[in-house]
Amino acid sequence: MTGAYIPGDSVLHRLPAGAKLAGLLACCTVVVLLSSPWALAGAAAVVAALYAVSGVGAAAAWAQVRPVRWFALALFAMQFLLATPAQAVATTLRVVVAVALAGLVTVTTRTSAVMACLERVLSPLRLAGVDPVRLSLLLSLAVRSVPVVSGLATRVREAQRARGVEWSVRAFGVPLVVGALRHADTLGEALAARGFDDE
Amino acid sequence: MSSKPFTLGTGDLARVAVFTALIAVLGLPGALNVFGNAVPITLQTFGVMLAGLILGPWRAALAILVLYVLVAAGLPLLAGGRGGLGVFFGPSAGFLLGWLPGAWVVGWLAGRGGFVRLLAACLVGGIGVIYGLGIPVQAAVTGAGLGKAALLSLAFIPGDVAKAVLAALVAGGVRRAYPAVAPAAPQAEDSRPGAAQR
C-alpha cells in the first residue's frame, strides 16, 4: 500500500508526479461517468495495458487490487440480486478499475514526489495564513504514520488474542489509541527538538 | 489545547497526523475483522468519532481534511482500499464529506464531559451530521427519492449506534489510561515504549 513504490524506468515512472495525479483525477472522473459494462471492460483492458507498460509485474498489480477482492465480491452479489447483472458487472468493474489506477500511480511514483507536488498545488493556501512547509510536513507525517499505526494494531490484536478477549472492541480500542497518542507525542517532541516549533 | 484553529504546535501537528493514520488503519481489512473476514465492516466512522472526542473540534476537522487530501492524491486509505478522486463523486460521497463537519461537531459537543455527554456528541455529530449530508447526496446521485435513500440508510443505523457507544467507552478509557490526552504537549511520566500494548 503506502510506500509501495517499485523502482523502474518505464514511461510511467518517468512522467512527473503532477501529470500522473492529474491523469488519475481525469480517469477516475471518466470511470465514474461510464455506465455501460462494455465501456468499463474497455477501461479495465486499458488499465491492464498500462500495468504491462509500467513493467511492475503481475504480482505487484494483484497486490494493489487484492485488498478490495472481498468488497468487490460482496458488491457484485448485492448488485446482482438488487439490480441487473449488467449493472452488477459495471459497478464492480468501476471500483476495481479505480483502485487499480490509483495503485498504478502509487507503485510508479515515489511518495516524496507526490508530497512535493501536493505542496506546490496547495501553496496558494499561504494567502489564508497556512504555512505550506508545515502543511506538507503534516501530510507526509500522516502517510508515514499509516504503517506505524497498522503495526500497532497488529500487536494489539495479538495481545488481545493472548489475553482471550478477542471480541472486545474496547480491549482493542483503548490500547490502540493510547499507543497512537504516545507515538504522536514522541514524534511531536522529536520535531520540537529539530526546531520545527519556532513560529 | 489551542482554541484558535491555525496555531498548531508540533505536538498538535503530530497528533493530527497520527489520527489521520488511525482512521485509515481502521478501514484496512486485516487490521480489524470484528466479525470475521466475510462481512466488510468499516470502523472508520468509529475513528472519526474518536478523533472528535480526543482531539477536539478543530484538530479533528484538520485530521479529516488531511485524510481527504491524501485520498484525493490517490492513496487507498478508505475502507476496502478505496482512494482516488472517484470516491468524491460516488453515491456515498456525502457520507464521506460529512466526516469533516461531523468530527467537528463531535468535538464541539463533547468538551470534557462524561460518558453520557460523549455518547450524545457521537450520536449527533457522528450519525446526525454525517447522515444529514449523506442521504441528500445519495438521493441526488442515484436519482432515488429522499425518502428511499433515507430508508436504505436505516440499515446502517444500528451499527453506527454501536460504534458511537464504543467510541464513547474507548475515549473514556483513553482519558483514564493516558491523562496527558487533554493538552497536547506535556507528556506523562510513564512513557516507556510498548507500555500501552500490555
Interface ipTM: 0.80
- Please report the residues numbered 72 through 111 in chain A whose beta carbons come closer than 8 angstroms to any beta carbon of chain B: 74, 94-95, 98-99, 101-103, 105-106
Examine residue B190 and state whether it is found in any structural domain, yes or no. no
Q: What is the DSSP letter of B82?
A: B
- Select the highest-mean-pLDDT range: A162-166, B30-34, B96-100, B181-185: B96-100
Grid cell 429522499 is found at B146
- Closest CA in chain B for residue A5: B75
In the predicted model, is pLDDT for residue B53 greater than 80?
yes
Higher pLDDT, A91 or B104: B104
Is there a contact between A75 and A96 (Cβ–Cβ < 8 Å)? Answer: no
Residues in chain B: 198
Task: Tell me which residue in A74, A148, A181 faces B15 most closely, judged by beta carbons.
Answer: A181
**A124 class by beta-carbon count within 10 Å (0-12 exposed, 13-18 middle, 19+ buried):** exposed
Closest to A142 (Cβ–Cβ): which among B17, B177, B197?
B17
Q: For the segment A106-134, what is each residue's pLDDT rounded down to a tens digit?
A: 788 887 787 788 778 877 877 777 777 78
What percent of chain B shows pLDDT beyond 90?
Answer: 38
Of residues A32, A99, A174, nearest to B76 (C-beta) = A99
Query: In angstroms, rounded to a whole number, what is the distance separating the alpha carbons of residues A32 and B89?
Result: 7
Answer yes or no: is pLDDT of A2 > 60.
Answer: no
Task: Determine which of A47-51, A177-181, B46-50, B184-188 has the lowest per-residue pLDDT on average.
Answer: B184-188
> Do B153 and B106 meet the contact criterion of CB atoms below 8 Å apart?
no
C-alpha grid cell, residue A124: 496558494
Give the H/E segment covering residue B68: helix B57-72
- Confirm whether B23 is domain-assigned: yes
Q: What value does the mean pLDDT take over residues A44-59?
A: 89
Chain A: give the shortest CA distance to residue B21, in Å.
Answer: 5
Q: Is residue B4 part of a domain?
A: no
Domain tally, chain B: 1
In a domain, B81, yes or no: yes
CATH number for the domain that contains residue B166: 1.10.1760.20
- Residues of A within 8 A of B67 (CB-CB) are 142
Q: Look at B75 and A2 and tell me if their CB atoms are within 8 Å.
A: yes
B80 has a pLDDT exceeding 70: no
A150 CB within 8 Å of a chain B CB: yes
Our CA-based measurement puts residue B84 at a distance from the nearest CA of chain A, in whole angstroms, of 6
- Among A114, A137, A153, beta carbon nearest to B32: A153
Distances (CA, A) of B31 to A95, B34, B159, B168: 21, 10, 19, 21
Distance linking the first and last C-alpha atoms of chain A: 34
Q: What is the mean pLDDT of chain B?
A: 78
Residue B82 bridge partners (DSSP): B78
C-alpha cell at A157: 490484536
Amino acid making up residue A96: V
Record: contact B22-A180, CB cut-off 8 A:
yes
pLDDT value of residue B85: 61
Closest residue in B to A167 (Cα–Cα): B34
- Among partner residues B15, B171, B198, which is closest to A184 by beta-carbon distance? B15
A139 interfaces chain B, CB cutoff of 8 Å: yes
What is the span of the domain harbouring residue B131?
A: 10-183
Q: Do B198 and A172 touch (CB under 8 A)?
A: no
B61 belongs to a structural domain: yes
| CA–CA min distance B132, chain A (Å) | 24
In a domain, B192, yes or no: no
Q: Which of chain A's residues have a Cβ under 8 Å away from the Cβ of B170? A: 169-170, 173-174, 177
pLDDT at A84: 83
| B120 within a domain of the structure (yes/no) | yes
Distance CA B47, CA B41 (A): 13
First to last CA, chain B: 29
Which among A139, A154, A187 has the least Cβ separation from residue B69? Answer: A139
Asked if B19's CB is within 8 angstroms of A150's CB, the reply is no
Q: Does the pLDDT at position A35 exceed 60?
A: yes
